[in-house]
């Protein structure tokens, strides 16, 4: 299926997301913070990024902005996961057709639906 990058600083949640996505046929790479997310996104060029908003090193939202400045990662769909309120999330997550926000605790069926939606509606990245 698709290569998905999961950026999550809680190891148990990252492992659970990896297992769920792999059980659906996806390849999954994991990053533990925003800096690693940027590095892996640039080197692996995933079809989708699932990122916590608040992580050490660089928040997921800040890392996303960095990736938007790179011609090879610009436009990569992102699903942000957050435990903050919808109002707080709206202040840091940009609005765009290739961005979704899901709130923790993560509902697995909602996540799978979001993944399917984002992979079906992704823009073509330059090579």
Supply the pTM of this predicted model.
0.88
In CATH terms, the fold of domain 3-120 is: Rossmann fold (3.40.50)
For 37-47, write each residue's pLDDT tens digit: 999 999 999 99
Measure the N-to-C terminal CA separation of the chain; round to a whole number of Å: 19
Which region holds residue 45: left if phi is over 0, alpha if psi is between -120 and 50, else beta?
Answer: left
Residues contacting 77, CB < 8 A, separation 6+: 47, 48, 49, 98, 99, 118, 119, 121, 122, 123
Q: Tokens 């299926």 sit at which residue?
A: 1
Angle at 102 between CA 10 and CA 8, to 5 degrees: 20
Q: What are phi and psi of 93, to 5 degrees?
A: -100, 120
pLDDT digits (tens, 9 = 90+) for 56-98: 776 667 788 888 898 889 999 999 998 888 888 888 787 888 8
Would you call 84 exposed, middle or buried from its count of C-beta atoms within 10 A (0-12, 13-18, 19+)?
middle
Higher pLDDT, 127 or 11: 11
User: What are the structural domain ranges in the chain?
Assistant: 3-120
Return d(Cα 127, Cα 122) in angstroms, integer. 15
The residue ranking higher by pLDDT, 86 or 5, is 5
């Amino acid at each position: 299926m698709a290569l998905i990058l999961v950026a999550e600083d809680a190891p148990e949640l990252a492992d659970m997301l990896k297992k769920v996505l792999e059980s659906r046929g996806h390849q999954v790479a994991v990053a533990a913070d925003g800096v690693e997310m940027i590095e892996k996104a640039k080197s692996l060029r995933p079809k989708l990024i699932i990122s916590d908003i608040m992580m050490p090193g660089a928040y997921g939202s800040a890392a996303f902005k960095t990736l938007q400045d790179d011609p090879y990662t610009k436009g990569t769909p992102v699903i942000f996961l957050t435990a903050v309120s919808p109002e707080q999330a709206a202040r840091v997550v940009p609005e765009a057709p290739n961005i979704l926000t899901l709130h923790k605790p993560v509902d697995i069926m909602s996540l799978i639906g979001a993944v399917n939606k984002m992979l079906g509606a992704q823009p073509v990245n330059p090579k």
